[in-house]
Structure 1
Amino acid sequence: MGENMRLISFEHLVDWCLEEYKNERAIFGIKEDKFYRNKSGNYLKTVFGDKLGSAIGPAAGPHCQLAQNIIGSYLAGSRFIELKTVQIMDGEQIQHAVNRPCIYAEDECYNCEWSTELTVQQAFAEYVKAYFLIQVLAKELGLADYKDFAYNMSVGYDLEGIKSEKIDNYIEGLKDASNTEAFKACKQFLSDNLNKFSKFNKEDLDKISPNICQSITLSTLHGCPAHEIESISTYLLTEKNLNTFIKCNPTLLGYEFARETTNKLGYDYISFTDFHFKDDLQYNDAVAMFKRLMLLAKEKDRSFGLKLTNTFPVDVKRNELPSEEMYMSGRSLFPLSITLAAKLSKEFDGKLPIAYSGGADAANINEILATGIQPVTMATTILKPGGYERFKQIAEVSESMLTPEFKDIDTKSLISYAESVIEDPRYQKSYRDKVKSRKTENKLPLIDCFMAPCKDGGCPINQQIPEYLKLVSDGKYDEAINVIANDNTAPSILGTLCSHPCQDKCTRVDYDKSIQIRAMKFVAADNAQQKFVDAIKKSELKSNKKVAVIGAGPGGVAAASYLRRNGMDVVVFEKLDKPYGIVRYIIPEFRIAEELIERDYQIAVKQGVEFKFNTDVTDSYEQLKKKYDYVLVATGAWMKGDSPVKEGQEKVLDALDFLWNARNEKSAELGKKVAVIGAGDVAMDCARTALRQKGVEEVHVVYRRTESYMPASQEDVNEVKEEGIKIDELLAPAKYDGKVLICEKMSLGDFDSSGRKSVVGTGKFIELEFDTVIGATGAKVDTKPFKDNSINMDDRGRLKLLSSLESNIENVYFIGDCKQGPSTIVKAMADAKTAALDILKKENLSNDFKKFNVPMENEQVYTRKAVLAPIEKGKEEGERCLKCDQICEICKEVCPNRANVIINVEGFNNLHQILHIDGMCNECGNCGVFCPYEDRPYKDKVTLFWSKEEFEDSSNVGFLKLYDDKFLVRAENGNVIEHTLGDGKISNELEKFIKSVSSDYKHFLNPTVIG
């Protein structure tokens, strides 16, 4: 029954708010320090005449459906509240029409829910309850000394439905609620219980007007004809005497513009056809209609305007949601919405009032308001970590933009701003650095689920990232390098070159930009590593066993370091004359300086690792085992990959050969014009290196897909573009004769199983002149030594190893690129750690990997939450860290309905635990999207039920209060138990949960519910 929300009575809502505030200094999870108070005295006068304490609020959607949602929005800073749309289809009928989950806001947001899931009568009651409680709390908490908020009702979708009795009662009830049961009941309860409040009194109660809302927004379905929209608007203006907005769809911009713009911004994977663009209201018809309605509104002394924008329909092609069509919003919608605003504003010379929604947040709110657009509502930004509490920052930063007089839109300013947005990197898909998901493969535990995904799911060597970020930001570099070097044997190299998968998991990516974790590591290394190296003393040998490591690349050196510092005797054999293989000999010097490599190498040397350079190991592994007890093979991937062209392969220069010559021979004759075929990090290195060679004037990267699909990191792609290197997309090289590269033009096809668009040949070819073509499509592993030594491999030539990376030959391990082909430095180091730990375990030796405790004050963590923060230079960047391994609570933050709550439970590792309240959940799925574990909190956390029907219809571990100390409990194994507190029938964990809720959170238990 999780998708059917239970409505809390007004009496219980009041008690809930007062009890939670008294005990937790929070209301519905919104902490007191995130309550918004307008300190400037500025206010906004809307076109409807409302006096607002801020210019912002929730868009008609998930954040304004239940009373607690609306109250939470207000507390955090919302003052213009768009009520969720009501229509003739409601209640169970619409609940059954909406598939679950119905929200997917990982980056751009998608949803397949639209109107209230309540009955119209229930929705009305929820809005009335919130209306009263907002005014009670505003006075009681000192948030405002006047009614500083306004409702805006929303109805749809046709005139017949809007004229129906229940919708008409809804409209008239909000216009004047004095005779409605909901209004009278709320007022009577407050009148009878004024003793519950210290500041709210009878005079305040008498001031609460029954005229709840005098404005309305018409939300129309796609395909609604112009005459129907005009008829409804005319009805609302004349017969209902309401100030009226019309929601307009981005389809007014036309298919070509929308497709071209989304493609340009990197959202070419978002699928939509021209159907709705042809079927929806057309631009010229809209303009003519708006002119007539403006005149009509003036005649009736009403206000008329537009709400931009409504839903943008797209097709479900990548299994985002269980639906065929969904609606897109967020930053991908912003360029379209603001462009439509500019276009219509120009059409009406700024005289047409425009309210706004579509990708607004703290980073752009002032630019929007500066144009005269107001008020501004939002949904996507508050569906992300931080949730409702993001409103506070948005309200505070925009306070200076509040104006006591409604003004025309500054059309010139708006047009200029809209044009700039199209070019703004923040609205390009690449701004998210190709991060797909922050989720890890870790299972969500029932308790103690706080986790920093940067280290527990993102970093292959599990570096203790929040710990060293805190130390670096505090300027404690010596302590920071100790934390880093605990897991990382090459702080300077990884501080410079790491592929930083940790940053892909950083919670900050769902706010603004990932913390620059790699850069922070380098700050520590640059300030403290030499001192750290100087202090290293040769490790004592604790075993008479010896280890041979073949290859002194990053993996080989790491394995040697891990083993030697823990007491093993290690010799590293390297056929080159210096360590670190690819890093030293292939990666361009402008990316990594020689002294940084040497600084890392000295860690292993000081620990006592023996290196033998210019030594090519020719003995078999069995022969080596006669001298050494363990053999670790870390020979890398140095063989040429397959040629990227079918004809003229011999004329294509191999990437590794080119980079070797450029770095070690200090020269490479390339001619004037160079092409690099490939799209990975090596290709980017080739392109940038080629541009630096004498005589080279022009470099192109040739790729068969589009930039958004390039496997290279976004920062590498950005650097290539910044240096003037051209990226030739959708070209598949076929032939090179030494002068002309012939490429087939490609096109993107349908989505494949990976969620990417496939690439399809067009049969059309293009000839491009290049003096040199460099092939950078991947190196290979020389598997001959493996075959010669009878190492088990699969049909594709990949090694078949145990999880410890031990081969079929006992005590012979394979790590790094030789194991499965070219990968990353940090993954090679992770292999080294895995193999080293296995060897130490076999030798009964303890290891020196330890956990560091670098806590942050909880209040400091909470202060950083819900706040967008730009990237900082130097050590201050660490101050953006949200210390997720100490406090996570993301599932609480992103839940629109406040169904995930924090409770304090004694006896666990973390005092704060997550409790899921089934009766407040509609299974929208949003907490499942943002939880860093692979699971879904609304399905996998301890759940409180409010009815036996809900309990029996669920499979969640959880409990239902029956009476006194009696509970119905579903245990971890799925068994259902009638439990009395203290009878020992359930686990200690569940017992603690139930006791805590029973004693400290009685307001959660079995409230008076409606429906």
Structure 2
Amino acid sequence: MSDRMRTIPFQKMITWIKRELKEKGSIFGIHKNKFYKNDSNKYIELFGQKMSSPLGPAAGPNSQLTQNIIASYLEGSRFIELKTVQVLDGEDVPVAKPCIHAEDECYNVEWSTELTVPQAFDEYIKAWFLLHVLMKELNLSEERDFMFNMSVGYDLKGIKSPKVDAYIEGMRDASKTKIWNHCKEVLISNMDSFSNFTKKDLDKISSKVCPSITLSTLHGCPPEEIEKIGNYLLKEKNLHTFIKMNPTLLGEKFVKDTFNKMGYDYIELNPNHFIKDLKYKDGVSMIKRLKDTAKKMNLQMGVKLTNTLPVKIVNGELNGEEMYMSGRSLFPLTISLGSKLASEFNGDLQISYSGGADFFNVEKIFKVGIQPVTFATTILKPGGYERITQMAKKVEKYLNGSFKGINIEGINDLAESSFKDKYHLKDLRPVKSRKLSLDLPIYDCAIAPCTIGCPINQQIPEYVALVGEKKYEEAFKIIAKDNTSPAITATICNHNCQYKCTRLDYDESVSIRDMKKIAVLNAEDKYIEDIKKSNIKSNKKVAVIGAGPAGLSAALFLRRNGVEVTVMDKREKPYGIVEYVIPEFRISSDMIKKDFELVKNQGVKFKFGIDENIDIDRLKKEYDYVVLATGAWKKGNVRLQEGKEKIVDAISFLEKHKQSNGDMDLGKNICIIGGGDVAMDAARAAKRTSNAENVSIVYRRTKKYMPASGEEIELALKEGIVLKELLSPKSIKDCNLVCEEMKLGEKDLSGRRKPIGTGSIVEIKADTVIFAVGQKIDSDLLTKNKIELDQRGFAKINKNCETTTPNVYVVGDMKKGPATIVKGIADGKLVCKDILSKEGLSNDFEKKVLPVDEKRIYKRKGILKSPLCSEEESERCLSCKNICEICVDVCPNRANMVINVEGDFKSSHQIVHIDGMCNECGNCGVFCPYKGNPYKDKITLFWSEKDFQNSKNRGFLVLDKDKGLCKVRKEDGEVVYYVIGRDKVISDEMESIIKTFINKYDYML
């Protein structure tokens, strides 16, 4: 495929819009139920023009093509900042592909239109006409309620070039241009097909498309050049002018300190830009002079805040050496610059804002007097253009005519609060990538990443939906199908599912664990009462050694499926670490008891207080299978030069703390060494001991790299525990923990930056030091039972957790060291399946299929919401298993489309890629939950032989629609010619898609 887009002819565009709206109820995939109309009669005024919304796409990928602009308008954009043009255009523009990476903060290497300047002009004029048509045809407004703003760069010579000059003049008055007259002629010939748009409406369309312009100056553009261009645009072109300012005006130190403070310390700046770019003082002087010039010309002049920030490519986000950063990480910088400039001009400075604007801050931005507001990053994320409507509705009540000045106090407060706003802190997104290690299927790709991300593959969307409907018993039955410790995991699971949730790319993960807890509290007791023990279906018996979550998982699953199981443990109670170590403030005894009753009532037998010396050969005389699940209780290695006798092991401490209800004296000053969840538990428990005053967590890296879950870290910090970062303990002397100060170096194999010693020594007062750096398994148990070990001292096992001793398994911590509870449950499930398979028994892990309300799900797309602590949280679930379509949402060009197809598919919803509308920006590949790229891996519709030849995509080119003749690249890559209904040379699935296009979507061909 080519990375060059093919513009859609105006007549085809009209046909496409009319047909899709009539037959599918949508336009370029935007459903008519989402079309925005401002019924408040409020508006803003800019440059003498009224707009029913102050919002729109920033000059960028979402304002490059006609269809992009239409999609933006339909969803609520009324200020359309057209993509920047420059003298260097078309194929001469050096853009490496992919060129967009908006996974969290956004990066791009694409700074102006990839079309030629004349092509860009044609696209904008086509869009100008079509917005007028749609405005009337869809009853969105009686009078024009939108405006276009052109954007140019990057030096005066280029702007004065014949090509760019013709563009500017054409946008000022397009009446004499070829495309203008062509569009009018086409509309006249189609007039009979419109219901509301009339010839009178056509005649009213103004040819003065853009009375305003934004100057987008490239980083490094000399200050005097910027001012020359500004004067030229004001004096020579008589245009209202915005001058785009760069974040570099704030200075390298401010920018770097901001990133470090907010968790973006991995972003590497390029000092050259801070040296060469316009300086703040010079910028203020320039603005004053240009404002004076504009006033004399009876024009308006303001600033566009801000340009993107150039940063070095050091983490492989995109190809090349430098990229441009935008998105939520840019907001604190942009609003801070706005605050400084507004103060300089006592509020009398028109600001066009674009720097991390999104649903969570757009209202705040607008309330301080800033208008208009544009955005790019937020609508490049899942939900796409549909995010705009919610923003437009949010600011409707504040629309109040023309610019009246910036509220200095308000913008200063907004700038100050931005540094603490969770929606701009890196910590809000706990994972780098949500991707699954699965290949993208050609067909039927909708998937629930939460379910795949869960080690036991729970049916999360299903039980979340049922909890939302208060059908707790049904929800719990689905949970219990795959989860043997529902109460425990509803309380302290590390919720891998939430790290895969699609809503991480909206706002925050669905609170899946909390939804499970609601089901547990409302239904588990009743479920336990109603359990009917399964009949024994086999004469084989299983012994499980260790009554922790992993062992009990294997036991319950096996017993439920008809196998007799006995669980043995050296202690008097089940659940090991959960019962004896994890503090009561993390999980109550009542929740643990629920799950034990669940296992007992299923018919599992128990033997507590058994001898620790397990002899597997002796066991196998009575039992046919043995599952070892004894956990990891041995102390980790203490790496201190001296003073080891002053150290308390975290597990031992936590066990004593739980036994004594915290009635312990550790002294006033307590240090915990470690960065995992056990360290957090130890610190919080230590804080609750009798005389504790100062509790510190000592960690050799920074908070960002701690393995503990973010919520556990925050809970510890909220309780007054101090985190001492970049310190490596060396010894203990005279009640002081002696540490070497560290610094972060290059990344190690774990992906974290390696701590490097600086040689500087600090001492921390420590009456007690608690060591929480990982427990070990009892490998002696394996050795004496002649189980073969690997080089790390763990049992050699196959994919089903079976050791080299037949019918002997290891699960949970015993497998590879300390593991999460849910991974232990997953091991038990795996062992159960293997034993059942060996015995020729079926299992009951089949998934329950629930009906879904697709209309209800579609209404949630693009809607941002903060988590709720109730059943209403289910409304945030996007039910990705049924409707994903992320690649459709995030494509600015609408190149990925959903078609409704009949045939041998799991779902009627199938994704097809339209080659001619794609520029290979790569954004769909960033957000697709699979490791593939939809623009390469999905079935592709080609518009020309040339594009087909230039591609390796599986897909088709319709050569003769009437005859059904197509050229097809099959799933295996073979190219064939095919006539529908004749020789069976292509798959049924491919044939169904081609038939669907010819019969139902021929306007796309």
Aligned to 2:244: 247
Aligned to 1:1009: none
Aligned to 1:801: 797
Once the two structures are TM-superposed, the CA of residue 312 in structure 1 deviates from its matched residue by 0.5
The one-character-per-residue Cα deviations of 1:140-174 (angstroms, maximum 9, x if unpaired) are 11111111111111111111101000000000000
Aligned residue for 1:684, secondary structure, equals: helix
Distance (whole Å) between structure 2 residues aligned to residue 289 and residue 969 of structure 1: 59
2:783 to 783, 787, 794: 787
Aligned to 1:975: 974
Aligned to 1:229: 226
Pairing of 1:534-573 with structure 2 (within 5 A): 534-573=529-568
Q: Which amino acid aligns with 1:948?
A: E
1:89–1:755 Cα change, 3 Å: farther
Deviates more, 1:665-674 or 1:212-221: 665-674
Distance (whole Å) between structure 1 residues aligned to residue 778 and residue 27 of structure 2: 63
Once the two structures are TM-superposed, the CA of residue 241 in structure 1 deviates from its matched residue by 0.8
Q: Which consecutive residues of structure 1, in runs of 5 or more, have no partner in the other structure?
A: 1006-1011
Once the two structures are TM-superposed, the CA of residue 617 in structure 1 deviates from its matched residue by 4.6
Once the two structures are TM-superposed, the CA of residue 799 in structure 1 deviates from its matched residue by 2.8
User: In the alignment, is residue 77 of structure 1 matched against residue 76 of structure 2?
Assistant: yes
Aligned to 1:427: 424
Once the two structures are TM-superposed, the CA of residue 645 in structure 1 deviates from its matched residue by 2.9
Aligned to 1:843: 839
The one-character-per-residue Cα deviations of 1:185-212 (angstroms, maximum 9, x if unpaired) are 0011101220121111100000111100
User: In the alignment, is residue 58 of structure 1 matched against residue 53 of structure 2?
Assistant: no
Deviates more, 1:568-577 or 1:853-862: 853-862
1:481 to 472, 476, 486: 476
Aligned to 1:864: 860
Aligned residue for 1:670, secondary structure, equals: coil
The one-character-per-residue Cα deviations of 1:454-476 (angstroms, maximum 9, x if unpaired) are 002x1000100000001101011
Aligned residue for 1:423, secondary structure, equals: coil
User: In the alignment, is residue 710 of structure 1 matched against residue 706 of structure 2?
Assistant: yes
Aligned residue for 2:423, secondary structure, equals: helix
User: In the alignment, is residue 699 of structure 1 matched against residue 698 of structure 2?
Assistant: no
The one-character-per-residue Cα deviations of 1:17-67 (angstroms, maximum 9, x if unpaired) are 111101111101111111100011111112x22211101000111001111
Q: Which consecutive residues of structure 2, in runs of 5 or more, have no partner in the other structure?
A: none
Aligned residue for 1:360, secondary structure, equals: coil
Q: Which amino acid aligns with 2:115?
A: L
Distance (whole Å) between structure 1 residues aligned to residue 748 and residue 120 of structure 2: 42
Q: Which amino acid aligns with 1:561?
A: L
User: In the alignment, is residue 577 of structure 1 matched against residue 572 of structure 2?
Assistant: yes
The answer as to whether partners of 2:360 and 2:423 remain within 8 angstroms in 1 is no
1:738–1:463 Cα change, 3 Å: farther
The answer as to whether partners of 1:248 and 1:309 remain within 8 angstroms in 2 is yes
Aligned to 1:137: 134
Aligned residue for 1:959, secondary structure, equals: strand
Aligned to 1:23: 23
User: In the alignment, is residue 900 of structure 1 matched against residue 899 of structure 2?
Assistant: no
Once the two structures are TM-superposed, the CA of residue 349 in structure 1 deviates from its matched residue by 0.6
Aligned residue for 1:694, secondary structure, equals: coil
The one-character-per-residue Cα deviations of 1:549-589 (angstroms, maximum 9, x if unpaired) are 01000000011000000000001110111000000011001
Q: Which amino acid aligns with 1:33?
A: N
Aligned to 1:190: 187
Q: Which amino acid aligns with 2:110?
A: E
Aligned to 2:987: 987
Distance (whole Å) between structure 2 residues aligned to residue 716 and residue 532 of structure 1: 31
Once the two structures are TM-superposed, the CA of residue 405 in structure 1 deviates from its matched residue by 2.5
The answer as to whether partners of 1:944 and 1:958 remain within 8 angstroms in 2 is yes
Aligned residue for 1:291, secondary structure, equals: helix
User: In the alignment, is residue 449 of structure 1 matched against residue 448 of structure 2?
Assistant: no
Deviates more, 1:21-30 or 1:266-275: 266-275
Distance (whole Å) between structure 2 residues aligned to residue 230 and residue 488 of structure 1: 66
Once the two structures are TM-superposed, the CA of residue 751 in structure 1 deviates from its matched residue by 4.1
User: In the alignment, is residue 292 of structure 1 matched against residue 263 of structure 2?
Assistant: no
Distance (whole Å) between structure 1 residues aligned to residue 43 and residue 83 of structure 2: 25
Aligned residue for 1:51, secondary structure, equals: strand
The answer as to whether partners of 2:330 and 2:356 remain within 8 angstroms in 1 is yes
Q: Which amino acid aligns with 1:806?
A: E
Pairing of 1:116-515 with structure 2 (within 5 A): 116-432=113-429, 434-456=430-452, 458-515=453-510
User: In the alignment, is residue 88 of structure 1 matched against residue 83 of structure 2?
Assistant: no
Distance (whole Å) between structure 1 residues aligned to residue 642 and residue 19 of structure 2: 77
Once the two structures are TM-superposed, the CA of residue 781 in structure 1 deviates from its matched residue by 1.4
Q: Which amino acid aligns with 2:593?
A: E
Q: Which amino acid aligns with 2:578?
A: V
Distance (whole Å) between structure 2 residues aligned to residue 730 and residue 194 of structure 1: 71
Distance (whole Å) between structure 1 residues aligned to residue 690 and residue 450 of structure 2: 42
1:752–1:374 Cα change, 3 Å: farther
The answer as to whether partners of 1:738 and 1:772 remain within 8 angstroms in 2 is no
Q: Which amino acid aligns with 2:770?
A: I
Once the two structures are TM-superposed, the CA of residue 732 in structure 1 deviates from its matched residue by 1.2
Once the two structures are TM-superposed, the CA of residue 846 in structure 1 deviates from its matched residue by 0.8
Distance (whole Å) between structure 2 residues aligned to residue 502 and residue 91 of structure 1: 44
Once the two structures are TM-superposed, the CA of residue 703 in structure 1 deviates from its matched residue by 1.0
The answer as to whether partners of 1:644 and 1:777 remain within 8 angstroms in 2 is no
Distance (whole Å) between structure 2 residues aligned to residue 764 and residue 131 of structure 1: 65
Distance (whole Å) between structure 2 residues aligned to residue 880 and residue 105 of structure 1: 22
Distance (whole Å) between structure 1 residues aligned to residue 853 and residue 262 of structure 2: 40
The one-character-per-residue Cα deviations of 1:378-401 (angstroms, maximum 9, x if unpaired) are 011101110001111010111111
Deviates more, 1:783-792 or 1:534-543: 783-792
2:938 to 934, 937, 941: 941
Aligned to 1:647: 642
The one-character-per-residue Cα deviations of 1:313-341 (angstroms, maximum 9, x if unpaired) are 11111111112111111111111111110
Distance (whole Å) between structure 1 residues aligned to residue 739 and residue 493 of structure 2: 33
Once the two structures are TM-superposed, the CA of residue 83 in structure 1 deviates from its matched residue by 0.5
1:529 to 516, 524, 529: 524
The answer as to whether partners of 2:514 and 2:869 remain within 8 angstroms in 1 is no
User: In the alignment, is residue 764 of structure 1 matched against residue 760 of structure 2?
Assistant: yes
Aligned residue for 1:307, secondary structure, equals: strand
The answer as to whether partners of 1:674 and 1:699 remain within 8 angstroms in 2 is yes
The answer as to whether partners of 1:42 and 1:399 remain within 8 angstroms in 2 is yes
Aligned to 2:656: 661
Q: Which amino acid aligns with 2:109?
A: C
User: In the alignment, is residue 724 of structure 1 matched against residue 723 of structure 2?
Assistant: no
Aligned residue for 2:401, secondary structure, equals: coil
Pairing of 1:901-980 with structure 2 (within 5 A): 901-907=897-903, 908-963=905-960, 964-980=963-979
Q: Which amino acid aligns with 2:346?
A: D
Q: Which amino acid aligns with 1:468?
A: Y
4+ long deviations beyond 6 Å: none
Q: Which amino acid aligns with 1:85?
A: T
The answer as to whether partners of 1:658 and 1:668 remain within 8 angstroms in 2 is no
Q: Which amino acid aligns with 1:677?
A: I
Distance (whole Å) between structure 2 residues aligned to residue 104 and residue 642 of structure 1: 42
The answer as to whether partners of 2:891 and 2:924 remain within 8 angstroms in 1 is yes
Aligned length: 1000
Aligned to 2:6: 6
Aligned residue for 2:192, secondary structure, equals: helix
The one-character-per-residue Cα deviations of 1:654-690 (angstroms, maximum 9, x if unpaired) are 1111111101233332100111111111110011000
Aligned to 2:873: 877
The answer as to whether partners of 1:56 and 1:376 remain within 8 angstroms in 2 is yes
The answer as to whether partners of 1:318 and 1:751 remain within 8 angstroms in 2 is no
The answer as to whether partners of 2:243 and 2:304 remain within 8 angstroms in 1 is yes
TM-score (norm 2): 0.98
Q: Which amino acid aligns with 2:274?
A: F
User: In the alignment, is residue 679 of structure 1 matched against residue 678 of structure 2?
Assistant: no
The answer as to whether partners of 2:614 and 2:781 remain within 8 angstroms in 1 is no
Q: Which amino acid aligns with 2:77?
A: S
